[in-house]
Structure 1
C-alpha cells in the first residue's frame, strides 16, 4: 500500500504540485508516465475511493492556482473517467466546485468541451447530475466548440472546393498541352533559325584578331622537290586529243570510256538576286520571339506545373512533357541572352 501511495503522490506531484513523499529517481518522469502512474495507483489501491479523492483534491488545488495546468487536468480526467466507475462516482459528487472554477477562471477549451460532450453522450442516463452540469455551461463557452466546428467544416469545404478546382485545371492542362507544344515549338524553331544566322555573324567580328595563315599554294610549293617524278593519271590518248583545245562533252565521254555520248547536263544557277534577310530584321524577330515566350508562355508553363504538382494523381507523361517544354524554352532564351550580351560587348568595344 505504501508503494502505491508513493507512486500516486509522485504522479500527482509531477502534474499538479510538490509531493508529500519524495522518492529518489534516476531521471525526471514524463507527463505520460505520470498519468500512467496515477491510473495504476488508483486501480491497484486497496481503497480506490480514497485514492480517487486524493487525485480529485490535487486537481481542485491545481485549478485554484494562478496558472492551472489544464492540459494535465484533461489528461488525468480522460484517462480515469472512462476506465473506473469509482472515479466517475466520486467525480460526480465533487464536480460542482470544479465546474465553477472552469467557468470563473475561463478555463473552458475546445478539448475540455469535447471531453465533456463525450461523457454526456455515454453516461447521460447514468449520471443525470453530470448532464445537468454540462447543460448549465454558459453559452459563451459552448460557443467555442460551435465556432471550432464551424471553422473545421469551412476548412473541409474549402479543401474539397480546392480539390475540385485542381481537377478542373488539371483537365484543362491535359487538353491544352498538345496545342501549347505545337505553338511553342514553332516559336522556338523560328528563334533557333534566327540564332543560327546571328551567331556566325558575331563570330566573324573576331576573325581579324586571328593569326593569318599562308596560302595553301605557298605551303605546297615550299615542299616541292624537283627531283621527284609525278605519275600521269590521265590517259595519253586523252592528253593527245586535248592538244587541239576543242574537246566537246561527247569527245570527253568517248575518250574516257564512259559509255554513250548522249548525255546532257543541267546546271542550276542559284537565284542570286533573291534578297537575303537583313541581320537587323533577324535580330528583331528573335527578340520578339523571346519577349513572346517570357510574357505569355513562361507564366503559363509555371502555372501549369503548379497545377500538375498539386494534382494527387497527375500523369507522369504529362509531367515529363511539361518539364521538357519548359526546359526547351529556358534553353533557347538562355542562348538569346548570351548572344545579346555578346552583341552588346562587341558594340561597346568598337
Structure 2
C-alpha cells in the first residue's frame, strides 16, 4: 500500500492494498445497457460535424496545432485543437482522439508530443468544459457539471460528453480522410476523460485501442461510499438527498462499460488518489474484456517526489502500447 504525507481528512488509498484493488469488481449492467449506448452512438454517427480548422496556434514536437470547431449531438458547436504533422507530404498513419480532465483544457499542453509519429489528433473540449467547450446552461465547474441533467439517463450531461468524443472522431476523419477505415485510430483520456473514454470505447469500432489514465466513474455503488476531493463528492452529496439517482448512475459506470470493451486497452491506475478513488480506477481495468495492460502509479492527482520519472514511464508505455496495436512497432527511446 502506498502512503504519502497529506492533510486530507480521509485516506486517499482507502485502505486497499494492490492485491485488494485487483479484485474490485464492476457492477452488473442493466439489461438494456448495450441497447442504450448503441442507440446513443447511432445518433452521434448521424451528426454532420462540419469541422472547421482555425489559424495555426503553435508548432512543436513534429506537429502544427490549429484551433478547430465541430458540431456534436443536439447541434452544439464545440471547439478544441487539431494536431497535424509538420511535414505535409508525409502520410498520416495514425489518428488519436484525446480527452481531458475535469476543468477542460487551455491548449494542447502535455498531450503533445503525440504517442506515435506520423499522427494526427483532435483534442476536443467537451460540452461545458473550458473556454472552447462553454455551452449556455451547462455549469463549467466540475462540481456542478457532474450533476447537470442527472435526474434522468436521457438528460445526464455525461452521455452527451461521450457523444462529443464520438463526434470528434467523425470530425477528425473528415479533416484527415486517409484515417477513415484504417483501424489506426486510438482513444486517450485521463481522469474525467478516462471515464468518458471507457464509456465511449465499446460501441465505436473506429478505435483500435485505448489508453486510460486514472479513469473516473468506475463502480458507482462503491464510489458513493468513498470520500474524495473530485466530482464524485458532488455525486455523493446529491445521492444523500436523492437515493434514486443510483438507477441513473448504473448507465454511466465506466467499469460496467469496460466489461463490453473487447479491444486492447492500457490503464494507468493509481494506488493513492484524493480526487478519483483508486478502487474505482482498478474496477475499470479489472472489468476489461479484451487484451489489457496495467501500469500501476504510486499516486494520481497528487504531487510527489519521483512524479517526473513516473510521467516519463507512462509516456514510454503509451508509445509502446499504441505502436503495438496501431500497426507500427516503436522502440522505448524517444
For this structure pair, what is the TM-score category when the shorter chain's length is used for normalisation? Answer: under 0.3
Larger Rg: 1
Query: Higher strand fraction: Structure 1 or Structure 2?
Result: 2
| Larger RCO of the pair (alpha carbons < 8 Å, separation 6+) | 2
Query: Higher helix fraction: Structure 1 or Structure 2?
Result: 1
TM value normalised by structure 1: 0.22
